[in-house]
Copies of this chain bind each other. A is one copy, B any other.
C-alpha cells in the first residue's frame, strides 16, 4: 500500500468518472440518467460506478429496480489533505510576492 490517497487519484484519472462526480454534485442520479448524459453504454456507466463505489466516492440507495447514486465526500477530503502541504507552499509564495511588491519601487514598464 502506498497510502490511502492512492485510490481517489487513480479513480479520478478517468475523465468520465470526474464527469459522473460533477453530475452527482448537483443531485443523486439513476444509472439511466448518467447513461444518457454521458453518452456511454449502460454497462460502461455501471462499470465506472462500481469503481467509484469501491473507492468510496459514491454511495447507492436502492429503490425498487432503480439505484440512486449519490456523492460521498470522504475520499475527496483525503485528496484535499494530500494537497495541503503543497497549498502551503503556494501560500508562502504568495506571501513572498506580497512582501516583494511592498519592497519594490512603484514603477511601470514603458
Question: What's the tally of chain A residues with a CB closer than 8 Å to chain B?
Answer: 26
User: Within 8 Å of chain B (Cβ to Cβ): is A39?
Assistant: no
- Using A10-B13, A13-B9, A83-B83 as known contacts, say yes or no to A90 and B71 having CB atoms under 8 A apart: no
* Chain B residues with CB under 8 A of A89: 25, 71, 73
* Chain B residues with CB under 8 A of A15: 2, 6
Option from B21, B71, B93 in Cβ contact (under 8 Å) with A73: B93
A79, closest chain B residue (CB) = B83
Interface string of A1-40 (1 = CB under 8 A from B): 0100110011011010011010001000000000000000
A84, closest chain B residue (CB) = B80
